[in-house]
Structure 1
Amino acid sequence: MNNFGRTLAYIFGFILSSSYYPALGQEKETWITKPQAQWPLISMINEVWFQNGERYVHPSFDYVATGFLIQTGTDTLAVTAKHALWAAKTKAMKSVDFGGALQKWLMHPKNNLADSVLIDYLLNADSTEILSGRQSTITQRDWLVFKTKYHSPAIQPLKPRYTLAKPGEKVYIFACPYQEKNCVIYSGHVLESKGNRLIITSDTSQKVSGSSGSPIVDENGYLLGILGGSSVNNKTGEPALYGTTTHYLQKVLRQTRPLNVPLISIGETLLPIIDKQGIDQAVRYYRTLYKQDQSHFIYTFDSQELNSLADRLVREKKLNEAVQIYLLSLSEFSWSSGTYYSLGNTYALMGKTQLARQAYTRSIQLSPDNKEAKQALDKLSNQ
């Protein structure tokens, strides 16, 4: 099926999905109505052993990432971040599939082995899903979902919420950072929820290393997503956290096939439009797609995609088109010092010295340590 066919099929399925509709008034889970000091155990650490005696890719790891339980209505399952397999793997593992190598996977709260969860098997194993490298797209679907052999009744399972989060919603992150003696609870607010990706406000004092796989929970006690790691506010460049929504989790639970379909490159989508219909049509097409919620489940909308496209256009001597793509990137990701630097380089190639100077200056303002931008600006000043 070509990209257009995939897009239509996906949109049709998306509209029929319950996750398309806005959140209805959900009652609060009983546990979250209590004072926070009385909230039950939710987050756990992951300890992993393999049949051949291997554990983690580096001996410095005592455990890898954070995990938790979910309640599906018919079963209690364990989940963590898929990219935890970058650390918890054998040397031979190349895909999201243990291939019989797993001996034991145990989840438990820090310093508490009594209340543990024993993993049975991986529900979303996929020998074709590449684990790491340039071709890997696992962070687009950053959920590992396990059947369990046993789970302590002291661990509170979370009920997933499949409706889209709204900017400003308060959330709680139940995390087990490496630097903390015990698991902790962070609070924040949703900055953006588009497609599979959540962006959440972050207190820069939060210690998030080891928190990948933490549940992101709404004010009513329902699971909104799973924490991936550190990010930035797309508009301001300030520190933020990113997570993956429950959309992929829902596909796993429904046993949707194919399950692990990579997002379509927006850069590769725009390139033939630029060649055949011109840059203005390509920019209009991008903006139309970006405004549609369902498009964010299909395409990769990020600064790297757009900048890679613009870089290619520069190499092809299509400088005007490259400038328009850099400007498009900055309209969505205005914090990027690197994009301003590349824009300045392109203006310089076009002989537009004043515009190049402005772009370099803005790049330096956003990143005072950008030596390349400083050197480029000095070179222009000496001409």
Structure 2
Amino acid sequence: MVNGIKSIAIGVLLVTLGCQEQPAPPKEPWIDKPIAQWPNFALTNEIGFKDKVYKDFANAFLIDTGRDTLGVSCKHLFMVFKNQLNLESIDLGPTFEYWKLYPKNNSSKTIGVKDLINSNPKENIGEFNTLKVRDWILFEIEKLPPDLYPLKIRYTPIQANEIVYALGWGAKQQDNSAPALTKLQCADNLGDYYYMKSFDTNPQPQGRSGSPVIDKNGYLVGIISGAEGKLAVIGSVHYLKKLFEDYNIDYRKANYK
């Protein structure tokens, strides 16, 4: 009988411990500061081809995999290359010369791209409806400057109605002294991308593609991809994780899950 009572007590203890809330993930130390004091992680692109240069083109950012720092932007930039340069696949082609990342308000803080990691001459560019499920490009970068900040990654999905934030540069943004912050609320999780309700009141929000999306703790949860009707579309870290696995990028010691 005593052994039975002990077993019941142990079982109750385990259930009690199992029901306790998991500890909250640590906040990034800068997240509660004014935005003007946040580190530089909202970047833009300059991309040079033999006869064409794209300057201040969409958005980009850096990520901390736990073992390395990589550059990120949105794959649907290739739709422009398709229309203007006749590229047909996710490959920069023979006329490509360079790719740089930098804060739009300080182009002297530039980091060079060494390689497009998920370049694939067999992957058709397609249209946005097919790109939104795979709208991440990854770069191997040159030495990281001390004043550019790679974002840590949250691998758990955004929850229904969760509030997250995009930080990036708009194409028609008149004041480029700082990137614009956009509040978003999760409307639907489609696996590799999300639909989001946007609280942005800017009548000209174009050009923010490639902006990082962070949670309330300052961790990366997605990338701005586009819009459908009144809903914003953001790419999911779920797909980014697939890329890590496909290209043997070690991320398992990184950040929090």
Provide, for residues 169-198 of structure 1, a one-character-per-residue CA deviation record: whole Å limited to 9, x for no partner: 221101110111322111222222231121
Structure-2 residue corresponding to 1:107 = 101
Q: Is there any run of 5+ residues in structure 1 with no aligned partner, and where?
A: 1-22, 57-61, 233-238, 258-383
Is the alpha carbon distance of 1:220 and 1:130 closer, same or farther for their aligned partners in structure 2, counting shifts above 3 Å? Answer: same
Please tell me whether the aligned partners of residues 81 and 212 of structure 1 are also in contact (alpha carbons under 8 angstroms).
yes
Deviation at 1:35, TM superposition (A): 2.9
Please tell me whether the aligned partners of residues 169 and 190 of structure 1 are also in contact (alpha carbons under 8 angstroms).
yes
Distance 2:81 2:142 in 1: 20
Q: Is there any run of 5+ residues in structure 2 with no aligned partner, and where?
A: 1-21, 249-257
- In the TM superposition, 1:71-86 aligns within 5 A as 71-86=64-79
Structure-2 residue corresponding to 1:25 = 24
Sequence identity percentage = 33
Please tell me whether the aligned partners of residues 187 and 197 of structure 2 are also in contact (alpha carbons under 8 angstroms).
yes
Deviation at 1:252, TM superposition (A): 1.4
One-letter amino acid of the counterpart of residue 137, structure 2: L
Provide, for residues 257-276 of structure 1, a one-character-per-residue CA deviation record: whole Å limited to 9, x for no partner: 9xxxxxxxxxxxxxxxxxxx
Distance 1:92 1:191 in 2: 36
RMSD: 2.2
Structure-2 residue corresponding to 1:190 = 186
Is the alpha carbon distance of 1:133 and 1:39 closer, same or farther for their aligned partners in structure 2, counting shifts above 3 Å? Answer: closer
Computing the radius of gyration from Cα coordinates, the structure with the larger value is 1
Provide, for residues 76-120 of structure 1, a one-character-per-residue CA deviation record: whole Å limited to 9, x for no partner: 111011001222466241100123432111111113112122111
Is the alpha carbon distance of 1:128 and 1:137 closer, same or farther for their aligned partners in structure 2, counting shifts above 3 Å? Answer: farther
Please tell me whether the aligned partners of residues 199 and 242 of structure 1 are also in contact (alpha carbons under 8 angstroms).
yes
Is the alpha carbon distance of 1:94 and 1:88 closer, same or farther for their aligned partners in structure 2, counting shifts above 3 Å? Answer: closer
Provide, for residues 230-256 of structure 1, a one-character-per-residue CA deviation record: whole Å limited to 9, x for no partner: 234xxxxxx221101011111212226
Structure-2 residue corresponding to 1:245 = 236
Distance 2:39 2:23 in 1: 25
Which residue among 213, 216, 221 is the counterpart of 1:219?
Answer: 216
Residue 53 (structure 1) aligned with residue 51 (structure 2): yes
Is the alpha carbon distance of 1:95 and 1:190 closer, same or farther for their aligned partners in structure 2, counting shifts above 3 Å? Answer: same
Please tell me whether the aligned partners of residues 64 and 87 of structure 1 are also in contact (alpha carbons under 8 angstroms).
no
Residue 137 (structure 1) aligned with residue 136 (structure 2): no
Which residue among 159, 170, 182 is the counterpart of 2:163?
Answer: 170
Is the alpha carbon distance of 1:101 and 1:247 closer, same or farther for their aligned partners in structure 2, counting shifts above 3 Å? Answer: farther
Look up the SS of the partner of 1:55 in the other structure: strand
Normalised by the size of structure 1, how large is the TM-score?
0.54
Residue 128 (structure 1) aligned with residue 122 (structure 2): yes
One-letter amino acid of the counterpart of residue 227, structure 1: I
Look up the SS of the partner of 2:77 in the other structure: helix
- In the TM superposition, 1:1-383 aligns within 5 A as 25-50=24-49, 52-55=50-53, 62-88=55-81, 91-132=85-126, 137-180=130-173, 181-182=175-176, 183-203=179-199, 205-206=201-202, 207-232=204-229, 239-255=230-246
Q: Name whichever structure is richer in strand by fraction.
A: 2
Q: Name whichever structure is richer in helix by fraction.
A: 1
Please tell me whether the aligned partners of residues 208 and 229 of structure 1 are also in contact (alpha carbons under 8 angstroms).
no
Look up the SS of the partner of 1:31 in the other structure: coil
Please tell me whether the aligned partners of residues 66 and 212 of structure 1 are also in contact (alpha carbons under 8 angstroms).
yes
Deviation at 1:145, TM superposition (A): 0.5
Please tell me whether the aligned partners of residues 31 and 38 of structure 2 are also in contact (alpha carbons under 8 angstroms).
yes
One-letter amino acid of the counterpart of residue 46, structure 1: N
Provide, for residues 145-187 of structure 1, a one-character-per-residue CA deviation record: whole Å limited to 9, x for no partner: 0000133221221112111110222211011101113221112
Provide, for residues 46-81 of structure 1, a one-character-per-residue CA deviation record: whole Å limited to 9, x for no partner: 11101x22235xxxxx43211000000111111011
Provide, for residues 200-240 of structure 1, a one-character-per-residue CA deviation record: whole Å limited to 9, x for no partner: 221352332110011110001111110111234xxxxxx22
Distance 1:194 1:133 in 2: 18
Distance 1:46 1:36 in 2: 22
Normalised by the size of structure 2, how large is the TM-score?
0.79
Structure-2 residue corresponding to 1:319 = none
Aligned length: 222
Is the alpha carbon distance of 1:133 and 1:71 closer, same or farther for their aligned partners in structure 2, counting shifts above 3 Å? Answer: closer
One-letter amino acid of the counterpart of residue 186, structure 1: T
Distance 1:113 1:133 in 2: 31
